[in-house]
Structure 1
Amino acid sequence: MNIHDGHVHTPYCPHGTLDSLAAYCEKAIQLGRSGITFTEHAPLPANFNDPTPKQDSAMKHTELTSYIDDINVLKKEYSQQLTIFTGLEIDFIVGYEEETEALLAEFGPFLDDSILSVHFLKIKDNYLCLDYSPEVFAEAVNRVGSVDRLHQLYYETVLKSVTSHLGTYKPKRIGHMTLVQKFSKRFPTEMSHLQIIKSILNEMKTRGYSLDYNGAGVIKPLCKEPYPFYEVIELAQNMNIPLVYGSDAHQVKELSNGFEQILYTNLLLTSDNLYRKQ
């Protein structure tokens, strides 16, 4: 089966490992992948204060040129074995749309592909990194009043990411759409949020966007399901929204994150609805 891993991190990730770009390529070949997209966390806006303790959510702006150059070298070295795309995982942060558009305008011409993701939520006048830890998630729940209100805020932010104008180079794929489920076994919801999820999918369909079928959630002990979960995947498939397998690997050994669980379900992926370069 022709499987492209569309969500792979690199040694440029400050909260990842130092596993080399070449090591990711070798492992992808070993796994039988047809290609990979390197999607490192893009630099955050200079005037945005990263709320994580070590402020290590993303690569530095000064590293972007080297990142792109390093991947271009690999494209030539592995041209006969692996399709390699240069990408970024772009953070959508409410209130920083102009800065994000400026970054995309600067570096978008050098990218083959990108993902648009929500990690940071604005709660009143402060931002929290939603998926950093169960403790931070609990703090977010306390600030908004309930788990369900936090889910609603997250999905409202994802919807804004889809509908916001971020310029010519805005990513056309939405990353780990149900990331708010990461700690769901400790923080279960009391109500369904499928209505707003359907609204997100409708907006994606209108714009011709694809969906990150992310296996990382499968290995998270408080999640144990892909992002998005199977009911949402079925909705997306019924709407003919393209699905892109992504391991969301932050180290070489994670390149197959959730792959078997995704592949061997009644929602079997085929090469017809996997990655196509936008």
Structure 2
Amino acid sequence: MIVFDGHVHTPFCPHGTKDPLEAYCENAIHHGLTAISFMEHAPLPHNFHDPVPHQDSALSWNDLELYLLEVEKVKRAFQGSLTIYTGLEVDYIEGYEKETTKMLDTYGPSLDDSILSVHFLNFAGQYICLDYSPQSFQKLVERVGSIENVHDLYFQTVEKSILTPLGAYKPKRIGHITLSTKFQKRFPTTYLFDSKLDTIFKQMYEQSLALDINGAGVLKPLCGETYPNPRFITRAHQYQIPLIYGSDAHQVKAMMSGIEQLPTTIDFVTHLDR
């Protein structure tokens, strides 16, 4: 039984909905959850150009302090009914490690939780958002030469996110680790996920990192499964990696997404130690 949703977005997300924080909390209680992590997209480095058309991939720097204050308010409002963690989903962007470390050094003390994710891939000095659209994925395929090369570039970047020092407040959880499968029904592949994920799971175990078991892919029509899928969830469990369910909800009705696909024989993390 899932009692902790460790990946919930908020009205501060510029590509999400305006559903209020309180509505997420009330829905969590309705579904029997005892804890949630609000996990808004951390602001991107000041000198990084967001490559998506509306530059709306992440929280505005101007809204960051307000976001932290508003989560503190709902913590107090729901005290005794729901444990609420203040979090940020932090982008690992190759080439911007110093800027990311500086942000984490500044805001890490205000956080209870965080996730490290890869959305942007760097090829020949140009950044493309992997999961923005099938068209952006197609652009990556054209740039790197094949669908298999896109997956390989993605996992190479995930490995760098795991191994790169980002200071004392580096996130301890890796987000939606198979995000490159978001459009897999349109871009089928022969890529050897087993071999690559075995390498990554070993690295995560050695770094004492947890894994975001992300339900959002179930709602994506060209994906249809969790990130990672149930077979790889079982494999991660065999590596003794802590597994934290996250709906990755950007609207209240998306909470609890993907739970019907989760292996029932595996225990998921129920709360965070603080």
Could you say which residue in structure 2 is the equivalent of 1:277?
Answer: 273
What residue is the counterpart of 1:194 in the other structure? 194
- Sort the Cα spacing of 1:33 and 1:248 in 2 relative to 1 into closer, same or farther, 3 A: same
State the Cα deviation string for residues 61-119 of structure 1 (Å, max 9, x = none). Answer: 12111111111111111011100000000000000000000000000000000000000
Cα distance in 2 for partners of 1:238, 1:51 equals 37
Shift, 1:189, TM fit? 1.0
Percent pairwise identity: 52
Equivalent-residue separation in structure 2 for 1:219 and 1:161 (angstroms)? 26
User: How far apart in 2 are the matches of 1:17 and 1:183?
Assistant: 22
Runs of 4 or more off by more than 2 Å in structure 1? 267-271, 273-278
Q: Quote how far apart the aligned CAs of 1:219 are.
A: 1.2
1:194 is displaced (CA, Å) by 2.0
Query: Is there any run of 5+ residues in structure 2 with no aligned partner, and where?
Result: none
Equivalents in 1 of 2:102, 2:246: separation in Å? 26
Distance of 2:230 and 2:18 partners within structure 1: 33
Write the letter of the residue equivalent to 2:272: R
Is 1:114 matched with 2:114? yes
Q: 8 Å contact 2:35–2:271 — kept in the other structure?
A: no
Q: What letter is aligned with 1:185?
A: K
The answer to whether the Cα contact below 8 Å between 2:104 and 2:169 also exists between their aligned partners in 1 is yes
Note the C-alpha offset of 1:204: 0.7
Match of 2:8 in 1: 8
Q: Shift of the alpha carbon at 1:235? A: 1.3
Deviations 1:250-269 (A, max 9, x none): 0011011112222xx4x534
Render the CA deviation track for 1:119-148: whole Å, top value 9, x for unaligned. 000011100000000011001001000000
The runs of 5 or more residues in structure 1 that have no matched partner are: none
Q: Partners in 2 of 1:66 and 1:78 — Cα distance?
A: 19
For residue 27 of structure 1, what is the amino acid of its counterpart?
A: N
Aligned to 2:143: 143
Q: Tell me the residue number matched to 1:158.
A: 158
Q: How far apart, in 2, do the equivalents of 1:5 and 1:62 lie? A: 27
For 1:88 and 1:144, the matched residues in 2 are separated by: 30
In 2, the alpha carbon distance for the partners of 1:219 and 1:88 equals 22
Instruction: Indicate the larger mover: 191-200 or 87-96.
Output: 191-200
Q: Deviations over 1:162-184 (max 9, x none)?
A: 00000000000000000000000
CA distance in 1, matches of 2:105, 2:70: 21
Following superposition, the deviation at residue 230 of structure 1 comes to: 2.0
One-letter amino acid matched to 1:270: D
Matches of 2:191 and 2:43 in 1, distance apart?
A: 35
Q: Where does residue 124 of structure 1 map in the other structure?
A: 124
Match of 2:255 in 1: 255
C-alpha distance in structure 2 between counterparts of 1:259 and 1:187, whole Å: 25
8 Å CA contact retained: 1:214, 1:245: yes
Backbone CA RMSD of aligned residues: 1.2
What residue number does 2:224 align with? 224
Per the normalisation by structure 2, the TM-score is 0.97
Residue in 1 that maps onto 2:99: 99
